[in-house]
């Protein structure tokens, strides 16, 4: 039989990198490639107690169909957490999503028609590109530097073209680890207002700050409801629950809810209840502080090892939180052949090209430091630095 797929699937190829990354699961490979939180830090014992309480107390209702927006007690707790981040909202302004990934999918659905232009950082989160590609968006990259995207560049682009939205990860961006500076946050909001631009603020990593002070989310500076804020429990509790949320004004939230109803009816009732109970009965702030301490230590080990070992011509970002740093090799350096050799030598990273909308980033690579032990980080960077030196010598 002849199967014809939709046009959108033609642009959605399986990532070659993702295929290669399967090789990094070999036990002899020290992997800086994934984007996994450290499972040994998950609050498993507390989750177990919370789950047992739900199983005893909620009974059958834990397994029945639920409302699309998500269970009210969990949304109420998220509203409190939002206030803590400087975002004034209540439970009605929140939609529970099946991971932040679903938030991206729903945002794509409600805003993007085929051929519509959107603005993104470049490089940006690989799976956001995929989500928006699925709705046949045209991508326009915004110039960035060490302080994140340049607001004036957004203004210049928005003056020429009507963009459906700007997608931005202001805190410890994936893949670069960079954060948008405070001054730029304010300027970006001014420019967005001037050009009537919708902003999708993706903030999975914001709470994972191990140095410096928290910066206000764009949503907290939003006076006219143009920011849709996405965040998740994946990095502050655990990703396996696939439980995250979106905060938006009523007109947008109503559309997101309609789109979610068609997408999966609602997020797992059981997972929502267990998370709700866990957050009520245990001190998740303490838990996040422990995670930050561990990630901060791991980042420090990686930064020291890089400083000690990497040959000249390589530079890397110095994030104050999150899970990634971003390295740039000398002009003409290609991280794709390096990746193949690195796997053979038992160390893995993600080559930079896949994070770019266009054909860029070949001399870049992403390193994850959240899911490796300090000793492994030292050994892994030693291997990587050796291979980089060899590459330059060739």
Binding residue (CB under 8 A) for a second copy from 251, 312, 331, 359: 251
| 171 vs 234, beta carbon nearer a second copy | 234
Could you tell me the end-to-end alpha-carbon distance of the chain, in angstroms, rounded to an integer?
A: 50
Binding residue (CB under 8 A) for a second copy from 82, 149, 274, 343: 274
Q: How far is the CB of 216 from a second copy (least distance, A)?
A: 19
Among the listed ranges 123-131, 309-317, 345-353, 355-363, the one in contact with a second copy (CB under 8 A) is 123-131
| 98 vs 391, beta carbon nearer a second copy | 98
Binding residue (CB under 8 A) for a second copy from 73, 155, 216, 225: 225
Of 2-31, which residues contact a second copy (CB under 8 A)? Answer: 2-9, 12-14
Number of residues that bind a second copy (CB under 8 A): 84
Q: Tell me the per-residue interface mask from 166 to 185 with a second copy, x by CB under 8 A, - otherwise.
A: --------------------
105 binds a second copy (CB under 8 A): yes
Among the listed ranges 85-93, 130-138, 182-190, 356-364, the one in contact with a second copy (CB under 8 A) is 130-138
Q: How far is the CB of 286 from a second copy (least distance, A)?
A: 18
Binding residue (CB under 8 A) for a second copy from 270, 374, 383, 389: 270
Long-range contacts of 193-197 (CB under 8 A, 24+ apart): 193/223, 193/224, 193/226, 194/155, 195/154, 195/155, 195/158, 195/159, 196/226, 197/119, 197/154, 197/158, 197/163, 197/165, 197/166, 197/226
117 binds a second copy (CB under 8 A): no
Query: Tokens 């003056």 — which residue?
Result: 159
Q: Tell me the per-residue interface mask from 58 to 77 with a second copy, x by CB under 8 A, - otherwise.
A: -xxxxxxxx-----------
Binding residue (CB under 8 A) for a second copy from 24, 31, 78, 99: 99
Binding residue (CB under 8 A) for a second copy from 80, 88, 159, 265: 265
271 binds a second copy (CB under 8 A): yes
Q: How far is the CB of 144 from a second copy (least distance, A)?
A: 24
Long-range contacts of 144-148 (CB under 8 A, 24+ apart): 144/176, 144/178, 146/178, 146/317, 147/178, 147/179, 147/180, 147/181, 147/184, 148/121, 148/173, 148/178, 148/179, 148/180, 148/181, 148/184
Q: Rounded CA gap, 52 and 274, in Å?
A: 9
- The β-bridge relationship of strands 350-351 and 364-368 is antiparallel
336 binds a second copy (CB under 8 A): no
Cβ(292)–Cβ(209) below 8 Å: yes
């Amino acid at each position: 039989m002849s199967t014809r797929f939709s046009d959108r699937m033609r642009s959605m190829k399986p990532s070659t990198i993702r295929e290669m990354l399967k090789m990094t699961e070999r036990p002899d490979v020290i992997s800086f490639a994934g984007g996994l939180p450290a499972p040994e830090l998950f609050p498993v014992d507390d989750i177990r107690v919370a789950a047992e309480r739900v199983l005893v107390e909620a009974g059958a209702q834990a397994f029945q169909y639920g409302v699309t927006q998500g269970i009210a007690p969990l949304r109420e707790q998220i509203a409190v957490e939002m206030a803590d981040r400087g975002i004034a909202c209540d439970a009605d302004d929140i939609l529970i999503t099946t991971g932040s990934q679903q938030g991206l999918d729903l945002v794509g659905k409600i805003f993007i028609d085929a051929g519509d232009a959107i603005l993104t950082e470049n490089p940006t989160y690989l799976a956001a590109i995929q989500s928006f590609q699925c709705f046949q968006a045209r991508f326009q990259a915004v110039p960035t530097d060490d302080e994140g995207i340049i607001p004036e560049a957004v203004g210049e682009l928005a003056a020429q073209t009507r963009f459906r939205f700007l997608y931005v990860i202001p805190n410890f961006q994936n893949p670069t680890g960079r954060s948008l500076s405070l001054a730029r946050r304010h300027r970006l909001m001014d420019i967005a207002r001037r050009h009537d631009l919708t902003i999708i603020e993706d903030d999975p990593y914001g709470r994972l700050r191990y140095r410096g002070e928290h910066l206000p989310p764009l949503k907290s500076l939003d006076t006219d409801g143009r920011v849709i804020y996405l965040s998740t429990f994946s990095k502050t509790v655990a990703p396996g629950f696939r439980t995250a949320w979106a905060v938006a004004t009523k007109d947008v939230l109503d559309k997101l809810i309609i789109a979610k109803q068609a997408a999966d009816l609602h997020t797992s009732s059981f997972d929502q209840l267990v998370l709700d109970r866990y957050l009520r009965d245990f001190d998740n702030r303490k838990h996040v502080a422990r995670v930050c301490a561990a990630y901060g230590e791991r980042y420090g080990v990686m930064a020291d090892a890089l400083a000690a070992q990497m040959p000249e011509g390589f530079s890397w970002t110095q994030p104050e939180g999150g899970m990634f740093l971003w390295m740039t090799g000398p002009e003409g350096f290609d991280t794709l052949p390096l990746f193949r050799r690195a796997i053979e030598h038992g160390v893995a990273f993600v080559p930079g090209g896949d994070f770019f909308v266009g054909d860029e980033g070949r001399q870049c690579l992403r390193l994850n430091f959240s899911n490796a032990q300090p000793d492994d980080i030292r050994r892994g960077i030693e291997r990587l630095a050796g291979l980089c030196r060899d590459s330059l010598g060739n």
